[in-house]
Amino acid sequence: MTATPTSSRPKVAAPLLEVEDLSLSFRSGSGEARVLHDVSFSVGSGEIVGLVGESGSGKTVTSLALAGLLDPRTAVTSGNATLNGEPLLGRGSANRSDLPLAMIFQEPMTALDPVFTIGSQLMETLTHRQGKSRKEAKREALVLLEQVGISDPRARLASYPHQLSGGMRQRVMIAIALACAPRLLIADEPTTAVDVTIQAQLLELIKRLSVERDMSVLFITHDLGVVAETCDRMITMYAGRIVEQGEVEQVLSKPRHPYTAGLLAALPSPETRGRTLAAIPGRVPPPTQVVTGCVFAERCDHRADECGEPQDLAGSTHQVRCVRSAELTLIGAQRLEVGR
C-alpha cells in the first residue's frame, strides 16, 4: 500500500513514531486496572493517523502515555515507543522538552492559562523550547499566529484566552504546539467542542500544516466522519486493545471487525431517517474485568464458540483482531472509488 486514493503525498518507509506492545496499568487501592493491552502501531512521516473508539476504549490514555503526561507513581507502562528513533517511555520530564512532539486538547479554554495573554504563552514556549530571545520569539509568534489563520496577529498577542472564540483558541493552541517544532502532533478530540463550520476550518488547517511541515498527526476522535475526511490510516481501539487498523478507505468501505462495522452502522444521517439505527448493545467492559477471549464478544452479533479463545491482531496492511473476520461480510460505508 503505497498510495491511497485519499492521499497524494508520498509515504516514507521508516515510520516516525513506532509503538510496540505498549501496556499500561493504573495502580489503585483496590489493585491494578489494566487499561492498555499490547498496543502496537506506527505513524509514518507526514501521515495522519486516526485513533477511534468509544469513551473508555483507551485512545486518550494511549496518547497521554506517549506524551509522558501520566503520573509515574500510579501508571505502570511496559513496551516500547520511539519517536524518530528516540525512546518516549520512561523519560523524566526534564529531558522531554527536546522531543519534537506536541499535543493539543479537546477544550482549548482549559488548556490555555486564563491569566496570561496569548502572546506570553506563545512566547514562553518559543523561548523555553527553542532558546529564542524575547525579540525573536515575538517575531516568530506573529508568524505562527499568521500560519494558523488568525487575523490581526499583532493585536491578538495582547488578548487573553477569554477574549477569543472557541475556534480561535484552538488555533492559538495549534500555534503553541507548532512553537515546539513538532514532527508529531497528537490531537486529542481537537474539534469536538466546536461547531461544524469551525471544525471544517480546523480540519483544513491541520491537514495543510501536516503537508507544509511534513508533520505527522495522531488524531484522536470518536467521529468517523472526521476520520474519513482527515486521516490516511485509522486504528480502532476497544477496551484498551487495537481491534482493527488499516488505510481509511479500506477500513471504512470494508470493515473487518464487527466493532468498526457497528460504529459505522450507528451513525445517523439523512438516509437513515425513519429507520432504527443499529445500536451496539451493552457497554465497554471495565478495565478491572479480565477477559481471555475476544473482548468485544459479549456485545457482538457474530459471536461464536471460537471467540472464547485469545485473539491476535492478524493481517499485513489491514489488520484485524477477530477470528471470524474471514467468514463475515460486514457492511461498510458507501465510498466511491474515485478520490477527492
* Rounded Cα gap, residues 108 and 60, in angstroms: 16
Q: Rounded to the nearest 5 degrees, what angle is found at the Cα of 208, between the Cα atoms of 6 and 148?
A: 155
Pair 121, 128: CB distance under 8 Å:
no
- When asked if residue 112 is in the footprint of another protein (CB under 8 A), the reply is no
Indicate the pairing of strand 319-320 with strand 31-44. unpaired
Q: How many CA atoms lie within 13 A of 65 on its CB side?
A: 28
- Considering the rule CB under 8 A, would residue 167 count as an interface residue with another protein? yes
- Binding segment toward another protein, per CB under 8 A, in 96-104, 208-216, 224-232, 315-323: 224-232
User: What x/- string results for residues 47 through 86 when contact with another protein is judged by CB under 8 A?
Assistant: -------xx-------------------------------
User: Which one of residues 13, 273, 290, 329 is an interface residue with another protein (CB under 8 A)?
Assistant: 273
Beta strand ranges found along 175-273 (DSSP E): 184-188, 216-221, 233-238, 241-247
Residue from the set 223, 285, 293, 298 that interacts with another protein by CB under 8 A: 223
Min separation Cβ 140 and another protein, Å:
25
Cβ atoms of residues 36 and 64 within 8 Å: no
* Closer by beta carbon to another protein, 195 or else 309: 195
Asked if 195 interacts with another protein (CB under 8 A), we say yes
Q: How far is CA 322 from the centre of its chain?
A: 23
Q: Applying CB under 8 A, which of residues 68, 108, 262, 287 lies at the interface with another protein?
A: 262
Q: Is the distance from CB of 339 to CB of 6 less than 8 angstroms?
A: yes
* The three cell numbers locating residue 114: 486564563
Q: Which stretch binds another protein (CB under 8 A): 116-124, 135-143, 222-230, 303-311?
A: 222-230
- Name the site residues for another protein (rule: CB under 8 A): 54-55, 165-168, 195-201, 203-204, 222-230, 252, 262-264, 266-273, 276-281, 283, 333-336, 338, 340
